[in-house]
């Protein structure tokens, strides 16, 4: 009889969940909308309920936010998450 294999926590060896192109495109989309609206990065972070340093990393494409953070950012910008995703896709296509 074989022993049951336990659940391995975390990512499999060699796996990555970060892709630079979408992260850069999303960050650029957020920055463009934020500056178009005349909102300071610190203000947007406060409105979204996230740390300003995290917002900076998102805008620079260093972090890919979770869905819940995307929803918070969209709400803070007065947009839908769908609008942010469409803007991100447009930046990826160009």
Per residue of the chain (94 residues), what is the pLDDT tens digit? 555 556 555 555 655 567 899 999 999 999 999 999 999 999 999 999 999 999 999 999 999 999 999 999 999 999 999 999 999 999 998 8
Report the alpha-carbon distance of residue 34 to residue 40 in Å, rounded. Answer: 7
Asked whether the CA dihedral 86, 18, 66, 32 is positive or negative, the reply is negative
Q: How close are the terminal C-alpha atoms of the chain, in Å?
A: 56
């Amino acid at each position: 009889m074989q022993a049951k294999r336990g659940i391995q926590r975390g990512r499999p060896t060699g796996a990555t969940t970060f892709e630079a192109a979408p992260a850069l495109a999303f960050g650029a989309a957020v920055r463009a909308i934020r500056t178009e609206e005349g909102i300071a990065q610190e203000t947007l972070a406060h409105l979204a309920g996230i740390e300003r340093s995290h917002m900076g990393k998102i805008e620079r494409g260093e972090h890919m936010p979770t869905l819940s953070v995307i929803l918070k950012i969209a709400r803070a910008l007065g947009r839908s998450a769908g609008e942010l995703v469409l803007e991100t896709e447009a930046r990826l296509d160009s």
